[in-house]
Amino acid sequence: MADNIPLISIIFLSFCYVASSFDQVAFLQCFSLHSLQSNSTSKTIATRNDPTYISLLQSSIQNLRFLNTSLPKPQLIVTPIHPLQIRAAIVCSRKQGVHVQVRSGGHNYEGLSYVSRIPFIIVDLRNMRSVEVDVEKESAWVEGGATLGEVYYAISQKSKVLGFPAGSCPTVGVGGHVSGGGFGTIFRKYGLASDNVINAKFIDVNGKILDRKSMGEDLFWAIRGGGGASFGVIFAWKIMLVPVPPTVTVFEARKTIEENGTMILHKWQNVAHKLQEDIFLHAVIGVVTPSSGLANNTISISFGGLYLGKIDKLLPLIRESFPELGLKRESCTEMSWIQSVLYFAGYSQDESLGVLLNRTQSSKSFFKAKSDYVMKPISETALQGLWNKLIEDESSYLILTPYGGLMSLISESETPFPHRRGNMYQIQYMVTWDSEEESSQQINWMRELYHYMAPYVSNFPRTAYMNYRDLDLGRNYNINASYAQASVWGLKYFKSNFRRLVKVKTASDPTNFFWNEQSFPVLSPRGR
C-alpha cells in the first residue's frame, strides 16, 4: 500500500517528521556551548514562542508575496553579533538536521533567504553591519548585514572623492548584492560590486572561519558573483573604493510614444552601450495617464543618467552621439557623488544623508520580476508590440540598463558573472500589485510578457541576472537535484561558469547543507 503514496506526499511527510523532531532545548544548549557567549543566547535567538519572532521574521521581507502565513517558517531566527555565533548556528543546525538560510537585507526576489521547502533556521546578519573605511588605502571592510545605504553613508563621512560601484536601492543588503554581482550608476567605468572585492571573511559548513588566503582562490572566485548562499556564510567583505570627481551631473529627458519615444528608444539601443564609460544613461519605461486628457493610457520613457563630470562637458558629448534625445541644460543638475546616490534612491539631493541609514523601505508591495539580456537592437515594430502588452497592466515597468565600457573588457570567466562583452543592455521586468488575491493573475501576466520578448533577447541560453531571482527559470525540488536538473536554471544565470561553480560547491559543501531552490547541486561521486 505504501508503494501507492504519491512522491509529493512522501516529501511532505518527511518534512513534517523532521520539523516536529527539532529539539529546541538541545539546539539552545549547543549554541551556548559553541558560541562561548552563553549569557547572550536569549538576546541572539528568537524562537517561535518569542513575542518578537513574527515581527523579526517579517521585518526584512520586502516582497509581500512571502508574508503568506501558510509558507514554511524557520524553527528559530539567530541574529548574531559575532562570527562565533554564526559558527555555533551552523554546527548546531547540522546536529539537529536542519538547514541554514542567511539573510542580509531580505531583498531576494523569490524569498530564498527566509523561505524554504525543508526545515531550516535563519541567520539574520542585521546586527553585523559595521563599515570601516580606510581612506588612505582606498578600501573598506563591510560586514554582511550592512545595507548599501550604510556603506555609501560611511564612505561619505570620510571622503568626498571616493565612492563604490553598487546599486541604487539603499535598503539592499550588502551580503546578497555583492555576492551576486551588483551593478549601479558607475559600473560601466568601474565594473560590478563583486569585481571590486579583494578579500572576504567566510564561515564554511564545518564552522571554520576563513579569509581569501585560507579559503583558496576557487572558493573566493565563486562567492564573487555566484552568490554566497550555496557555499557558507560571508560575514564581511573587503572592497576597493573608487575615485569620483567632486562634481557629477545627473540628467533626465522624458518622452512618451506620442513624442517619438519609440524612435528615440530604438536609437538609444545603438548608443547607450557605446558612450564613454563616464556616462551612464538608462531607460525606465512605464504606463502613464496623459496630462492632455486623452482617454487612453500611454507609454512614457524616462532617459535618466549620471555623468562623472560637469554639465559643460556632458552636453556636447550627448548632442554629438545622441542628438535625438534633445537634452537641455535645464534638465541637468550638478551635485556631489553622494548627492547623486540620494537622487537615484528617489530622494531630493538636499535630503539629509541620514536617510541612507534607514533599513526599511518606505513602502512595500506584492511583486514579480524577471530579467533578460539584449544583444541586438529590438525593432520599432517589436517595441510597439511591447507597448501594447505593457498597457494591459498599468502597474508594470521596465528598467533598461546599458552595458559596455569596462564591462566589455572583463572576461566572462573572470568571475561567475558572465554577462560581459556582447550584451548591449539588460532588462528588468517588474509588475506590482496590492492584494494577495491578484497574485496569480499578475504572475501569469508577467509570464506572458516574458514569452512575448523571447524572440528579441539572448538565447541558447536565454540569460538572466542572478540577483533578480526567478524560480520560473527552474528550481531544485529536493536536496538531491542532479547537475542536469539544476543546469536548467544555472546555465541561464552563469553560462559556462556553472560547471565550475558546481565543482566548487561539491568541494566546499559535499553534504549540500547550504541548500535552497536555486543553490548549486553536489556532483555524484561518478561526476566529480
Rounded to whole angstroms, the Cα distance separating 197 from 211 reads: 12
The total of other beta-carbon atoms located within 10 Å of residue 482's CB is 13
> 182-191 burial, b for 16+ CB within 10 Å, e for fewer?
bbbbbbbbbb
99-103: strand order across its sheet: 45-47, 76-78, 120-124, 99-103
From the list 204, 203, 207, 202, the residue with the least C-alpha distance to 30 is 207
Catalytic annotation present for 190: no
From the list 186, 167, 388, 400, the residue with the least C-alpha distance to 298 is 388
C-alpha cell at 458: 539572448
Cα angle at 79 between 78 and 85, to 5 degrees?
75
Which position among 468, 477, 483, 493 bears the catalytic label?
468
C-alpha cell at 469: 531571482
- In Å, what is the CA distance from 48 to each residue of 57, 69, 218, 360, 450? 10, 14, 38, 23, 39
Rounded to whole angstroms, the Cα distance separating 173 from 126 reads: 9
**HSE-up of residue 478 (Cα within 13 Å, Cβ side):** 9
From the list 228, 163, 221, 183, the residue with the least C-alpha distance to 407 is 183
Rounded to whole angstroms, the Cα distance separating 205 from 446 reads: 37
233-240: strand order across its sheet: 131-134, 139-143, 233-240, 197-203, 209-210
- DSSP-assigned beta bridge partners for residue 46: 77
Residues acting as catalytic residues? 468
